[in-house]
Structure formats: C-alpha cells, structure tokens
Amino acid sequence: MSLVVVGTMAFDAIETPFGKSDKIVGGAATYIAWSASNFTRPVKQLSVVGGDFPKEELSILEARGVSMEGVQIKENEKSFFWSGRYHLDMNTRDTLDTQLNVLANFTPVVPDSYQDCEFLMLGNLVPAIQLSVINQIKNRPKLVVLDTMNFWMESALSDLEEVISKIDVLLVNDSEARQLSGQYSLVAAAKTILEMGPKYVIIKKGEHGALLFNGDQVFFAPALPLEMVFDPTGAGDTFAGGFIGHLARTKDISFENMKAAIIVGSAMASFCVEKFGTNRLRELTKVDIDNRIQQFKDLTKFEIELSS
Ligand code: AMP
C-alpha cells in the first residue's frame, strides 16, 4: 500500500522583495515529495520532465525513498517553467510566466507497481491529467487529495470541476476558494465547494493559518509566526506533502487525525519559506520536525476556567 504523488517537476524563477533566484528546481510534486518522504516511504512519483531537468535531483529524491518509475523523461524537450514575483506582504504574488513545455503533450502512464495506491495526492497540474490518473487507478484509493490553483480555474474550469467531483479533500488558498465558489465569506465558500463533491475542504490563508471544513465541523490551525519569510514558493505543496504524509503514515482518515495532519502540514510549510526553493527542506532532520510540531502545540495551548 502506498502514496502516489502527481504533479509538476519543474524550474522556477522567483523574485521577492528580498532577493531573486536564477532558474532553480521546483514544481508542485517536487515539494510534495521532499515533504511527504519525511513521514512515509515509498512515495511513488508521477510526473514528466525534459532533458534539462537535473538527473541528480531525481537520484537524490530516489535515495529518500521516492520512486521515479512513473516519471517520464523527454530528453529532447524542456521542463515546465514558472516564474513569479511576490508582493511586499509575501502572501500575494503575480505569475510572470508559465511555460508548459513538456507538460503540453503529457500522457501520464500509471505503472503496475503504483496500482497498490492507498493515498493519492493530485498535486497542481493540468486537470485532464489529474483525471486520467484517477481513471487509470483500478481500485479507488482510501483517500484522494487535490491541490489546484487559479491558473486552471481560468483555463480548464470544466475539467477541474469534474476532478473536484471525484475527490475527498480539496486544498486551495483563500483567494482560490473565493474564485471557485463565487463567495466572499470563506465559510460560505467552503459550503459551496463541499456541494461540488469533496467531503473535506482545506482553505490555506498563508501567514494566517488554515481552515478545515467537513459538514458542519470546522478546525483552525495557525501558521507559525516567523520573523523572516524568505520565499513562500512551494509552501502550499509542502503543506500538502506533510498533510498526506502524516495520513499515509498513520492510515487514519478521521476528522480528528486530519486536524493533526494539518498541523504537520503547517509545520512543514513553515520550514519551506525559510530559504529559497527546496533548500530548507533538504537539510531537515526528524528532530527539527518534532521540535517544530511541538512549537505549534505550545502556540495554541491555553487553560481557561469558565464561570458558570
Ligand atoms: P505553491 O507556492 O505551493 O503554490 O507552488 C509553487 C510551485 O508550483 C512552483 O514550484 C511551480 O513550479 C509550480 N506551479 C506554478 N504554476 C503551476 C501550474 N499552473 N501548474 C502546476 N504547477 C505550477
């Protein structure tokens, strides 16, 4: 039984008010794999890269228990490229460029060895590709989690709606939740999204934490107040990797355990933003992660006596 991760493996160029990167390794599935492999192995990766993608990156991930059997390498093509510029608040950004390259004609092929998939993480990617993966997996996974973004809401809404109708958990940020639902209130937005199919919706609010909705139940997880946010790129994917990694490790998909999974996701995301790209994720130890989760526990723990 295993975790299968679908998404981009890519190059990014990032500008923040504090610095600028050259073309660096990024992509939704790259961040998810770096994050989830701290909790569960193997992570079975499904993606496509061009001949320009560093082979070394694939082998470093492989050494961490990330299977690359489902990653197609198109030697004569270029990898997906994204470039973005963050505003001063570091919570909002503009996409400067999206070059699909190798993604434009990508037909995913789910290897036989991935058919034991119990947890399916559909990272940010063309909705038709996400759909094709769902349809190729013969036995419905125990949990299907989807991450997406405004780009696909604008360019492939009907495919995206079809994917959303087939999943269990949708991860979006606050502006995407508003865009998808047409509602300003996040509570109303969650209600509308839950009517589209998923049983759970998680709305990420950057430095203001994340909300989990399921029926009438709501849970709120804070983000760690950090003095310095260096680069928020990949924080959402790193959150997703920690969330599903924890669920895959514990094999418990109850609402109570999802609360813990959101804290794990938030802790992982808090590391991601501390350095450019995946750099901070590359150096983490189990002790670092445990200490950070403890900080989250301390942050929200309080005693109060009710006078009644
Ligand atoms: P996040 O900051 O968590 O939203 O994710 C940023 C990552 O998503 C970057 O590493 C990009 O390579 C990747 N990305 C950006 N735009 C897209 C897109 N339209 N589809 C798939 N991945 C994307």
CATH number for position 295 = 3.40.1190.20
Count of alpha carbons within 13 angstroms of residue 83, beta-carbon side: 9
* Within-domain flag for 266: yes
Average pLDDT of every residue of the chain: 96
Tokens of 279: 């750099």
On whether residue 201 sits in a domain, the answer given is yes
Domain-located, residue 308: no
Provide the pLDDT for residue 92.
86
Question: Counting atoms of ligand 1 from 1, which one is nearest the CA of 237?
Answer: 3
CA of 27 to the centre of ligand 1 (A): 5
Choose the residue to mutate in 81, 149, 172 for probing ligand 1, maximizing ligand atoms within 8 Å of C-beta.
149
Name the pLDDT band for 56 (thresholds 50, 70, 90): very high
The atom number, within ligand 1, closest to the CA of 11 reads: 12
pLDDT at residue 308 tops 90? no
Residue nearest to atom 6 of ligand 1 (CA): 234
Closest atom of ligand 1 to 239 CA is 3
Residue 180, pLDDT score: 97
Query: Does residue 110 lie in a domain region?
Result: yes
Q: Whose CA is nearest to atom 19 of ligand 1?
A: 151
Per-residue pLDDT, averaged over 84-98, amounts to 91
Distance 287 CA to ligand 1 centre (A): 28
Closest by CA position to 93, among listed 153, 166, 16: 16
> What is the structure's pLDDT at 229?
87
Q: Which of 5, 6, 8, 99 has most ligand 1 atoms within 8 Å of its beta carbon, as the pocket-test mutant?
A: 8
Q: How confident is the model at residue 183 (pLDDT cuts 50, 70, 90)?
A: very high
Cα atoms in the 13 Å half-sphere on the side-chain side of 205: 13
**Given this model, what pLDDT does residue 248 score?**
98
Asked if residue 11 lies in contact with residue 23, where contact means CB atoms within 8 angstroms, the answer is yes
Confidence of residue 76 (pLDDT cuts 50, 70, 90): very high
The whole-number pLDDT of residue 239 equals 97
Whole-number Cα distances in Å, 83 to 8, 15, 100, 120: 14, 8, 12, 27
**In-domain check, residue 307:** no
Say if residue 1's pLDDT is above 80.
Answer: no
Q: Ligand 1 atom closest to Cα of 93? A: 2
* Residue whose CB lies within 8 A of the most ligand 1 atoms, among 233, 239, 271, for a mutation test: 233
Query: Is 305 part of any domain?
Result: no
Going through the chain in order, the beta strands assigned E by DSSP cover 2-6, 10-16, 19-20, 24-26, 43-50, 66-74, 80-86, 93-99, 117-122, 143-147, 169-173, 200-204, 210-214, 217-221
State mean pLDDT over 167-173: 97
pLDDT the model gives residue 228:
85
Give the domain extent around 292.
Answer: 2-300
Is 258 a domain residue? yes
Residue 172 has pLDDT above 80, yes or no: yes
**What is the number of structural domains in the chain?**
1
Mean pLDDT, rounded, for 158-166: 98
What's the CA gap between 151 and 77, in Å, rounded?
23
What is the reported pLDDT for 292? 97
Q: 28 with 8: CB under 8 angstroms?
A: yes
Question: Ligand 1 centroid to 31 CA: how many Å?
Answer: 10
Convert the pLDDT of each residue in 238-280 to its tens digit.
Answer: 999 999 999 999 999 999 999 999 999 999 999 999 999 999 9
Q: How far is the CA of 308 from the centre of ligand 1 (A)?
A: 50
The ligand 1 site (C-beta within 6 Å) comprises: 8, 10, 12, 26-28, 82, 98, 124-125, 149, 151, 233-237
The tens digit of pLDDT for each residue in 5-35 reads 999 999 999 999 988 998 999 999 999 999 9
pLDDT digits (tens, 9 = 90+) for 206-240: 889 999 999 999 999 999 999 888 889 999 999 99
In the prediction, which pLDDT does 207 show? 87
Under DSSP, is residue 307 helix (H, G, I), strand (E, B) or coil?
A: coil
In a domain, 101, yes or no: yes
